[in-house]
Amino acid sequence: MSFAELFQLAKGREWTREEVQGFQALDQAGKNRVVRQLAAEAGCIRTEDQVGTDGVVYTAFWKEAEEPVR
């Protein structure tokens, strides 16, 4: 899942060029905050902080699997 897909799920629209540029200009901690905020808004996205091989913390995100129908 891409950042653009996450934004679409959270906001119900594509992000603007200005929003993309603003996101890209953030440091990693800022990007992580935005990811967690968008995930919370979307409601169906899980997040987990993971330390990369470079020692930087990245917030991973993925769409929750739907519960099986019983």
Phi first, then psi: what are they for 3, rounded to 5°? -60, -40
Residues of the chain with pLDDT under 70: 66-70
The pLDDT value given to residue 69: 52
State how far the Cα of 7 lies from the Cα of 61, in Å rounded to an integer.
Answer: 12
The pLDDT value given to residue 64: 84
pTM of the model: 0.85
The pLDDT value given to residue 66: 56
Beta bridge pairs of residue 63: 45
State how far the Cα of 5 lies from the Cα of 52, in Å rounded to an integer.
Answer: 22
